[in-house]
């Protein structure tokens, strides 16, 4: 017997945790049939995004929330993408106007970083084998969000086909755009201060400096403390080993040439990885202050 659309019992308020939603879409499957398990999962994800309200436009409603991994740029992807991707978890919020991209911790906790992908600036949005590929109008550039949660894949495909109004106009919105977590104003690449509220963000020059001159410094600077600790311990070990090798060479003691070349090479490679990763994280606009209080909306 074919399933028929079903509305959950109770008061059908148009908001969840103060966020406007399209409940008939949010709590249904790809066939527009209400499912209790879908409602439970969406509500669990909504707990992670109460900060989103000031960013929503008039008439905007949330259609779906899911999880995945943020895009990797080429150097990070080719060097250690298979490990680095673990640090790139994110939440994706589909609305009737756009997709919000929210970088998170490994536990999907908000990091005061938020961006949007406007449907009007997209040439295409496709989901294949768990990878959401967004092609922007104008530049034709493609960003890929990997490991989209299995629970939402069919639903996302249905949204792309029926609900998302792609126009590919090539406007100024034809790219992923970041917003200030305090005043919601647009942020610009390479400018590490909000032009409206003057909120300061961590910058790439400081990230590179910390990465080069301090063990694990780039990770600590971008608040990835566990990885920073492991990286720092490895760098300290390599530096100590290198010191003894140099001391043996200075005292004209025979040293293993393989170790003599391998240790500094590993150290340089590790520093390079840390620097690339730190610079990549800075591109997500990390506020200098850990706690950000949103400004009251007018």
CB of 213 within 8 A of CB of 223?
no
What's the rounded Cα separation, in Å, for the pair 267 and 260? 12
In a domain? residue 8:
no
Q: For 87-140, what is each residue's pLDDT tens digit?
A: 889 999 999 999 999 999 888 999 999 999 999 889 899 999 999 999 998 777
Domain count, the chain: 2
Give the model's confidence band at 82: pLDDT under 50 very low, under 70 low, under 90 confident, else very high. low
DSSP reduced 3-state for 26: helix
Higher pLDDT, 162 or 208: 208
pLDDT at 211 over 50: yes
C-alpha distance from residue 285 to each of 85, 112, 204 (Å): 18, 8, 10
Q: Is residue 115 part of a domain?
A: yes
- Is there a single domain that holds both residue 82 and residue 210? no
Query: Given this model, what pLDDT does residue 11 score?
Result: 42
Could you give the percent of the chain with pLDDT greater than 70? Answer: 84
- Domain enclosing residue 34, as ranges: 15-179
DSSP state string for 134-160: EEETTT--EEEEB---GGGHHHHHHHH
Is 118 part of a structural domain of the chain? yes
Q: Is residue 195 part of a domain?
A: no
Q: Which helix (H) or strand (E) holds 163?
A: none
Assess whether pLDDT exceeds 60 at residue 36: yes
State whether 26 and 170 are in the same domain: yes
Identify the band that residue 6 occupies on the pLDDT scale cut at 50, 70 and 90. very low
Q: What pLDDT is stored for residue 206 in this prediction? A: 96
Residue 8 confidence (pLDDT): 46
Q: Domain with 28 in it: what CATH number? A: 2.30.29.30
Instruction: Indicate if 136 and 233 belong to the same structural domain.
Output: no
At 7 the pLDDT is 44
Strand partners, 20: 15
Question: Are 112 and 221 within one domain?
Answer: no
Of the pLDDT bands very low, low, confident and very high (cuts 50, 70, 90), residue 1 is very low
Q: How many CB atoms lie within 10 A of CB 93?
A: 24
Does 43 score more than 50 pLDDT? yes
- 4 domain residue, yes or no: no
- Smallest CA-to-CA distance from 280 within 221, 213, 231 is with 221
Is 91 or 263 the better-scoring residue by pLDDT?
A: 91
Mean pLDDT of 257-277: 83
Distance CA 161, CA 18 (A): 28
What is the sign of the dihedral through the CA atoms of 30, 34, 38 and 42? positive
At residue 19, the pLDDT reads: 93
**134 domain-assigned:** yes
pLDDT of residue 249: 67
What is the three-class DSSP state of 95? Answer: strand
Q: Please answer whether residues 52 and 93 qualify as being in contact, where contact means their C-beta atoms are separated by less than 8 angstroms.
A: yes
Cβ atoms < 10 Å from Cβ of 197: 13
* Residue 6 is assigned to a structural domain of this protein: no
Cβ pair 30, 154 in contact under 8 A:
yes
Asked whether the predicted pLDDT for residue 242 surpasses 70, the reply is: yes
pLDDT class for 260, splitting at 50, 70, 90? Answer: low
pTM for this entry: 0.86
Please state the φ and ψ torsions of residue 290, each to the nearest 5 degrees: -75, -35
How far apart are the C-alpha atoms of 20 and 35, rounded to whole Å? 20
Instruction: Please check the confidence at residue 35 and state whether its pLDDT lies above 50.
Output: yes
154-197 tens-digit pLDDT: 999 999 988 777 655 556 677 899 999 999 999 999 999 999 99
Nearest Cα neighbor of 70 from 96, 99, 43 is: 99
Tell whether 166 and 248 lie within a shared domain. no
Residue 46 phi, psi (nearest 5): -65, -30
C-alpha angle with apex 11: 62 to 164, nearest 5 degrees?
A: 20
71 plus 218 within the same structural domain: no
Does the structure show a pLDDT above 70 at 27? Answer: yes
The mean predicted confidence, pLDDT, of the chain is 85
What does the buried/exposed string (b/e) look like for 110-124 if buried means 16 or more CB atoms within 10 Å of the residue's CB? bbbbbbbbbbbbbbe
81 pLDDT exceeds 70?
A: no
Give bridge partners of residue 62 from the DSSP assignment.
21, 95
């Amino acid at each position: 017997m074919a399933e028929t659309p079903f509305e959950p019992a109770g008061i059908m308020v148009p908001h969840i945790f103060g966020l406007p939603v399209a409940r008939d879409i949010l709590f249904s499957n790809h066939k527009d049939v209400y499912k209790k398990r879908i409602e439970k999962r969406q509500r669990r994800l909504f707990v992670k995004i109460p900060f989103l309200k000031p960013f929503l436009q008039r008439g905007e409603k949330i259609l779906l929330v899911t999880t995945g991994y943020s895009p990797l740029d080429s150097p990070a992807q080719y060097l250690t993408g298979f490990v680095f991707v673990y640090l790139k978890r994110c939440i994706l919020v589909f609305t009737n106007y756009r997709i919000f991209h929210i970088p998170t911790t490994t536990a999907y906790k908000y990091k005061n970083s938020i961006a949007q992908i406007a449907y009007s600036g997209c040439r295409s949005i496709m989901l294949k084998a768990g990878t959401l590929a967004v092609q922007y109008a104008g530049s034709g550039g493609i960003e890929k969000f990997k490991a989209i949660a299995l629970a939402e894949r069919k639903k996302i495909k249905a949204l792309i086909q029926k609900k998302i109004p792609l126009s590919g106009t090539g406007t100024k919105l034809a790219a992923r755009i970041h917003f200030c977590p305090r005043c919601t104003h647009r942020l610009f690449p390479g400018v590490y201060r909000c032009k409206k509220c003057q909120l300061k963000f961590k910058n790439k020059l400081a990230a590179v400096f910390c990465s080069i001159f301090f063990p694990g410094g780039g990770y600590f600077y971008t608040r990835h403390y566990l990885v920073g600790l492991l990286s720092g311990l490895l760098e300290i070990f390599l530096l100590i080993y290198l010191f003894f090798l140099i001391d043996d060479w200075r005292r004209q003691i025979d040293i293993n040439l393989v170790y003599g070349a391998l240790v500094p090479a590993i150290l340089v490679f590790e520093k390079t990885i840390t620097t690339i990763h730190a610079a990549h994280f800075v591109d997500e606009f990390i506020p200098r202050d850990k706690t950000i209080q949103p400004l009251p909306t007018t």
